[in-house]
Amino acid sequence: MAQASSEKLYRQAEEIIPGGVNSPVRSCRAVGTHPLFIAKGQGSKIFDVDGNSYIDYVGSWGPLILGHAHPEVVEAIKKAAELGTSFGIPTTLEIELAQMITKLVPSMEMVRMVNSGTEATMSAIRVARGYTGRSKIIKFDGCYHGHADTLLVKAGSGAATLGIPGSAGVPADFVQHTLSLRFNDLDEIAAVMQKQGQEVAAIILEPVAGNMGVVPPKPGFLEGLRKWCDETGALLIFDEVMTGFRLALGGAQELYGVQPDLTCLGKVIGGGLPVGAYGGRREIMSQVAPLGEVYQAGTLSGNPLAVTAGLTTLKILSKPGVYDELEERSNHLFNEMSRLAEKHKVVSTTNRVGSMGCLFFTERTVVDFDSAQTADTQKFAHMFCAMLERGVYLAPSQFEAAFVSLAHDQEDIDKTLAAADEVFKEI
């Protein structure tokens, strides 16, 4: 496909924006090409400035579970914008969204809106430290919780894509209280918690890791973390920025039946607009200013446009049968993708939870960051470019998830599988 206008725009952008992009993975450097510049999105498709259309499995990195420019969401945003885009003063919409979130995610008895997933995780950790009076945080290799200084330790996703071990500009003192352990390894958790559990403020993780591809928890892993937190007084924080309202109406915690003390949300609850939220038990959230001494603020937090888009999206997702439909489509797509790879003797393994999935070019079963990193990124780069030529847009990184939306119909999935059938012959 001709992409001359995108390439020209990228060269212009490189002169005034670091790397030509406003988030690193968008640069497409890991797959050996330049990024597309998008003119519009509609349903399951995106359209670039050269007039090409693509079936989109990125969906703005997860939030567009209804597809692009869903008419009900767009209409709701228009009506909200006519009344004002932001006030920095409370609106009734904030109460309505908070009520819906706390109803659908019972572990969140109180919720505070913020503007991004990074703000949500950063704030939740501050609350955990304030509530427990402890300093240490445990995270897991390959789990990405935004770009706050204390969390950029073996953070997967963009850092893994670009081969960056952490980040320059983060003083060692800032991460001295952050321990990064192996995902899905309860023995390692036990060894650390037996020695240092009384110093640990919180364990934070993506309950389904979506920033090293897609890596589900092993049976008993989440339950084991809950047990250790209960025994030591540490808080369990689920970063459901990606999985919240994506895997189930109540998120991964509903799917796996394990309740955290604090939950971080984003993406879907903004319906495609910038948003984040964190919340948990009332006694913990009562530590947040102005009730308590843990300070956190944001001028645009709970702004009417993002809240309206989120409310509209959640109301649609609350209709009967929605997640069954997503499960059926996703199961078919990823099962068939795996079958086609096997048919063409392409060494790979496929992980899927709900409408999130990832095909890794490795013979290993992917259960943690180490096994994810055995994937052949050159083969993935070839697949990305070849699928793009055939009108299918995947995330430009082996370490990102593919997302199925309600806008993807059978024709989209059939075209995607036909393209994959051709591409696997070349790999």
Catalytic residue among 10, 267, 323, 412: 267
Mean pLDDT throughout 66-75?
98
Q: Which two tokens stand for residue 364?
A: 């290993």
Contact 130, 196 (CB under 8 A): no
What amino acid occupies position 223? E
Highest mean pLDDT among 2-6, 143-147, 219-223: 219-223
Give Cα separations from 408 to 71, 240, 268, 326, 330 (angstroms): 15, 23, 17, 9, 10
The lowest-confidence range among 26-30, 162-166, 190-194 is: 162-166
At residue 162 the predicted structure's pLDDT band, cuts being 50, 70 and 90, is very low
Mean pLDDT throughout 225-239?
98
DSSP summary character for residue 25: G
Burial code (b: 16+ CB inside 10 Å, e: under 16) for 52-81 equals bbbbbbbbebbbbbbbbebeebeebbeebe
The boundaries of every CATH 3.90.1150.10 domain in the chain are 4-57+320-426
Cis peptide preceding 274, ω within 30 of 0: no
Mean pLDDT throughout 124-140?
97
The domain 4-57+320-426 is placed in CATH, from the list 3.90.1150.10, 3.30.70.920, 3.50.50.60, 1.10.3720.10, at: 3.90.1150.10
Q: Is 267 a catalytic residue?
A: yes
Mean pLDDT throughout 394-413?
97
Angle, helices 304-317 vs 92-104, to 10°: value is 40
Mean pLDDT throughout 176-185?
94
At residue 166 the predicted structure's pLDDT band, cuts being 50, 70 and 90, is low
Q: How far is CA 63 from the centre of its chain?
A: 8
Catalytic residue among 10, 54, 57, 144: 144
How much of the chain exceeds pLDDT 70, in percent?
Answer: 95
71-317 is classed CATH 3.40.50.300:
no
Catalytic residue among 239, 261, 368, 412: 239
At residue 151 the predicted structure's pLDDT band, cuts being 50, 70 and 90, is confident
The lowest-confidence range among 89-98, 146-155, 378-387 is: 146-155
At residue 155 the predicted structure's pLDDT band, cuts being 50, 70 and 90, is low
How much of the chain exceeds pLDDT 90, in percent?
Answer: 92
The lowest-confidence range among 85-89, 152-156, 331-335 is: 152-156
Surface-to-core class of residue 15, CB atoms within 10 Å of its CB (0-12 exposed, 13-18 middle, 19+ buried):
exposed
The boundaries of every CATH 3.40.640.10 domain in the chain are 71-317
Q: Is 239 a catalytic residue?
A: yes
At residue 176 the predicted structure's pLDDT band, cuts being 50, 70 and 90, is confident
Is the pLDDT at 165 greater than 50, yes or no?
Answer: no
Spatial neighbors of 423 by CB under 8 A, at least 6 apart, are 382, 383, 386, 387, 390
